Chains A and B, each alone.
Chain A
Amino acid sequence: MTTSQSTTILPESESTRSIWGIALYPLGCPCCTQVYLAQDPHVEQRCPSCAQAILIPQTARLRTEPPEAIIPFKLQKADLTAPLEQFAQAVWLRPDDFSGENLFQRLKAVYLPAWLVDCRLSGTWEAEAGYDYEVKSSQETYQHGQWVTTPLTEKRTRWEKRVGRLDRVYHNITAPALANSSKTLRQIGEFDSASAHPYHFEIPQDILLHVPDLPPESAWETARERFDQAAARDCLRAAAAEHIRNFSIQGNYGSQNWTQLLMPMFFTHYSDDEGRQHPVWIHGQTGHIAGAQWASQQKGWYWAGVSIATAVTLFLISLFFFAFNTVIPALLPLGFLFAVFAFAGGVFSLVPLIWPRQWNHRQKERKIFEQSKKDIPPPSAVP
């Protein structure tokens, strides 16, 4: 593959003004090594990728051309108050820091990058084109000594070999620009690329731009698959078929042009009992919230203790009533009643003890499940 543009190293104290025409400063995460661009490098900002560290100024490897398209935020921060509250409320015994208000306070808008690739694809293709046709069938019903015929129509596909030449220019085919972007997109969902518009050097204040960590050379395999898919769609149209399968193309992917598409996302975080930070991501278009919802084991211990103490107290009172029932016979039923309450309290104390452990276990399982799901690549093309 060949790319027509080159990369440049942006020193930590310099902005992108000289190359992109807008002043953005590079910041990096010492924990996960992800690099961001921010308008104000002095504002303390937590890493949206891992949430474990504060971003610090550092050098960045950037492509010289600015982003080409941007998908705007559909949601304002204010729209997220209720969803975030709901997200936090879903956990019964949650850490003190895990509240809707805290999540809202720490909201940060971030743009995730994806590559936009233009290319002229010329070569020979072959495939099996599928053409739908109808066949007539019937169902015969016999009832009360008479036959009734119900005509049926069935759709079938006839597959025919097709070959040919293709010479087409494809614009804005997307490819992932982040090594872990599929993980994030897998959780928050796909972006609607139809609403993307050209980028005009108007980044709102207080927004972070994630710098690609997957160079075009590494993203090329995915991009090539996308070009092949686009070519297959074109061949399907050219052959006037309804379906296509076993498509292959031998060709030259020339005149490549790599730029960026920016996809909107919100980031926030909370800390658990041990002070570990957990990131929460919100889709900038749909508002879908993704992130682990950890419960607090400490709170569980606390409420279990309270419950046990109450049960012990009730048990002691019931013993007292049993001891004096010979003097005051009316105390005997009360003693039984308190004993029952004490027993119930003892049993109930197990609930806050076990629940956080079970809940967190399910969160871990969910995390493993999310990771095992099929990767969601960036939108396939931008109009």
Chain B
Amino acid sequence: MRIWDPPANFIELPSQLEGVSVYGPAPEPCSDSEHPTTYTCPQCGARTQFNVSVGGIACEHCGFCAPAESSTVGTDAEEFEFTPDALAPSSKGLGSNRRTLACEQCGAVLSLPEKALTITCPFCTSHRISIRESTLDELQPRHLIPFKIQPQEIQLRAKEWLGKGWFHPDELSRQSRVDHFTGIYLPFWTFDANIIAHWKAEVGHEKQESYYDASSKTWQTRTKVVWRWENGEIHLPIDDLQVKGSGRISGKILERILPFDLSALREYHPDFLAGWNAQHYDVDLAEAWEEGKVRMREAAKCSCFADIPTRHVRNFSMVADFSNESWRYILLPVYISAYQFGEQVFQIMVNGQNGLVAGQKPVAWWKVWLAIFAMLLPGIGLGLIGLPLLLLNGLGFLPLVLGGVLLTVGGIFALQLYHQAADSEAA
């Protein structure tokens, strides 16, 4: 009797019935995360790390280099459904011998290379960092964007950025030391969904109508708003909405260095993290999805309003059906630094893919107040001139009106400037 062999890569599975054997495809071979890698040079035995210019592992001592074995998948990177299984922590860790450190000051949890000597928290510049027992139950990232900007370039870009803006202290660029940038992979979630939203509202349509004005005894036209109930449907596909997976970093600063170009997404490989830091997500999938949903439904609401041909809308209601929702857990490259100016600590971030710089900058408030005063002065001045003239002989009407206009315009600019300055300092 001929012995039957199952196809290659098929393994026997437990059968629930006697007389029937069951074979299925073997699971994917264990990822590197199951067998942590130690990065030592095969030529000289020294420690190796990911080199941005090489795009792979390189040895500083003997010049050995090997490109990372990972392909670019871009926006075609695998996405996952919102299943309980997908949320199960089946694949853990980042796949190499790494230490998990926790900052006692800000609470950030960092994954550092095994022999890393970093003892400064890149988020708060604190030195109170302790080794924490690894309690990794996080999902393993499947994709990342590797660093494209060389660490050497960062100093120049940061100095240039610090020197920009007139309402900051003059000595900011000279006195601030931002030479210690930490390249860190930050956790991000991306979400896709199709939204079909049905809206219903009372929509007002403007209509010109003629009426007889008894006082002037003439026919006049006026605009009347005619209200009627209307409804509609919009289809809104949302692709790769990026939501941060870290609650430790400033959302405001991060927003300013977004977005990342996801067409450069590559399959995750521990090589990319060799010698670099990475942060585990502390905003889990459910929490991030809630935030993603809020942003998606607001986008759907905006689309509904855009669907309405007039600006007169009342009693608006809508039902948004989500379908084909999917998610990805990815790592994105960011350089982080914190610098001290005076007694205060300020954060600074650089997009590791395109070099965009954003961060907190101290504000020379005397400059801001002076500028605000200058903006309001013409209006106030004209008002002060116009008021006595009006009281005296009625000539002050024109300067008073002009003063009012200038005060309003100056006030708007002043408010904008104030917000800009306050934002610049805020984390």
Contact of B322 among A140, A165, A235, A238 (CB under 8 A): A140
Q: Which of B275-320 contact A (CB under 8 A)?
A: 293-294, 297, 300-301, 316-320
A96 at the B interface (CB under 8 A)? no
Q: Which residue in chain B gives the minimum CB-CB distance to A141?
A: B319
Contact of A143 among B21, B23, B317 (CB under 8 A): B317
A125 to B81, CA, bound (A): 31
Contact of A136 among B82, B297, B301 (CB under 8 A): B82
Given contacts A141-B319, A142-B316, contact A164 B297 (CB under 8 A): no
B133 at the A interface (CB under 8 A)? no
Interface membership of chain A positions 118-158, coded 1 if the CB is closer than 8 angstroms to chain B and 0 otherwise: 00000011000000011111111111100101000000100
Given contacts A140-B293, A142-B297, contact A239 B22 (CB under 8 A): yes
A161 at the B interface (CB under 8 A)? yes
Contact of A140 among B6, B7, B319 (CB under 8 A): B319
Q: Which residue in chain B gives the minimum CB-CB distance to A154?
A: B323
Q: What residues of chain A have their CB less than 8 Å away from a CB belonging to chain B? A: 124-125, 133-144, 147, 149, 156, 160-168, 234-235, 237-240
- Is there an interface contact between A161 and B81, defined as CB atoms closer than 8 Å? no
A41 to B85, CA, bound (A): 71
Q: Which residue in chain A gives the minimum CB-CB distance to B304?
A: A142
15 pairs of residues in contact across A and B, judged by CB atoms under 8 Å: A135-B81, A135-B82, A139-B320, A141-B320, A142-B317, A147-B297, A149-B293, A162-B22, A163-B22, A167-B20, A234-B19, A235-B20, A238-B22, A239-B24, A240-B14
Among B21, B84, B85, max chain A CB count under 10 A is at B21
Cβ–Cβ < 8 Å partners of B20 in chain A: 125, 164-168, 234-235, 237-238
Interface membership of chain B positions 3-23, coded 1 if the CB is closer than 8 angstroms to chain A and 0 otherwise: 010110010011111011111
- Is there an interface contact between A237 and B16, defined as CB atoms closer than 8 Å? yes
Cβ–Cβ < 8 Å partners of B322 in chain A: 137-140
Nearest-CB distance from A251 to chain B (Å)? 11
- Is there an interface contact between A134 and B325, defined as CB atoms closer than 8 Å? no
Cβ–Cβ < 8 Å partners of A124 in chain B: 4
A137 to B289, CA, bound (A): 11
- Is there an interface contact between B317 and A162, defined as CB atoms closer than 8 Å? no
Nearest-CB distance from B41 to chain A (Å)? 42
Chain B interface size, as a band, is 35 or more
- Is there an interface contact between B85 and A165, defined as CB atoms closer than 8 Å? no
A149 to B21, CA, bound (A): 46
Given contacts A168-B20, A235-B20, contact A140 B297 (CB under 8 A): yes
Cβ–Cβ < 8 Å partners of B16 in chain A: 237-240
A129 to B110, CA, bound (A): 42
- Is there an interface contact between B23 and A164, defined as CB atoms closer than 8 Å? yes
- Is there an interface contact between B83 and A162, defined as CB atoms closer than 8 Å? no
- Is there an interface contact between A133 and B21, defined as CB atoms closer than 8 Å? no
Contact of A234 among B17, B24, B25, B317 (CB under 8 A): B17
Interface membership of chain B positions 77-94, coded 1 if the CB is closer than 8 angstroms to chain A and 0 otherwise: 000011111000000000
Nearest-CB distance from B46 to chain A (Å)? 46
- Is there an interface contact between B23 and A162, defined as CB atoms closer than 8 Å? yes
Query: What is the interface of chain A mostly: helix, strand, loop, or mixed?
Result: strand
B32 at the A interface (CB under 8 A)? no
Contact of B83 among A135, A161, A164 (CB under 8 A): A135
Contact of A163 among B10, B15, B84, B300 (CB under 8 A): B10
- Is there an interface contact between A164 and B15, defined as CB atoms closer than 8 Å? yes
A137 to B195, CA, bound (A): 11
Nearest-CB distance from A238 to chain B (Å)? 4
Q: Which residue in chain B gives the minimum CB-CB distance to A123?
A: B4
Nearest-CB distance from A235 to chain B (Å)? 6
Q: Which residue in chain A gives the minimum CB-CB distance to B297?
A: A140
- Is there an interface contact between B24 and A165, defined as CB atoms closer than 8 Å? no
Given contacts A163-B7, A238-B15, A239-B16, contact A139 B23 (CB under 8 A): no
B261 at the A interface (CB under 8 A)? no
- Is there an interface contact between B17 and A238, defined as CB atoms closer than 8 Å? yes
The 9 lowest CB-CB distance pairs between A and B, nearest first, are A238-B20, A238-B17, A140-B320, A164-B21, A143-B317, A238-B15, A168-B19, A140-B297, A136-B82
- Is there an interface contact between B23 and A163, defined as CB atoms closer than 8 Å? yes
A150 to B217, CA, bound (A): 59
Cβ–Cβ < 8 Å partners of B19 in chain A: 166-168, 234
Nearest-CB distance from B243 to chain A (Å)? 16
Among B15, B300, B318, max chain A CB count under 10 A is at B15
A234 to B82, CA, bound (A): 32
Interface membership of chain B positions 203-220, coded 1 if the CB is closer than 8 angstroms to chain A and 0 otherwise: 000000000000000000
Interface membership of chain B positions 138-181, coded 1 if the CB is closer than 8 angstroms to chain A and 0 otherwise: 00000000000000000000000000000000000000000000
Cβ–Cβ < 8 Å partners of A165 in chain B: 4, 20-21
- Is there an interface contact between B321 and A142, defined as CB atoms closer than 8 Å? no
Cβ–Cβ < 8 Å partners of A164 in chain B: 6, 15, 20-23
Nearest-CB distance from A144 to chain B (Å)? 8
- Is there an interface contact between A137 and B21, defined as CB atoms closer than 8 Å? no
Nearest-CB distance from B18 to chain A (Å)? 8
Given A125-B20, A141-B319, A235-B20, output 12 extra A-B contacts at Cβ < 8 Å.
A133-B83, A135-B82, A137-B325, A140-B300, A142-B297, A142-B301, A144-B317, A163-B10, A164-B22, A165-B4, A166-B20, A238-B22
Nearest-CB distance from B236 to chain A (Å)? 12
Cβ–Cβ < 8 Å partners of A144 in chain B: 317
Cβ–Cβ < 8 Å partners of A140 in chain B: 293, 297, 300, 319-320, 322
Among A138, A235, A240, max chain B CB count under 10 A is at A138
A234 to B16, CA, bound (A): 9
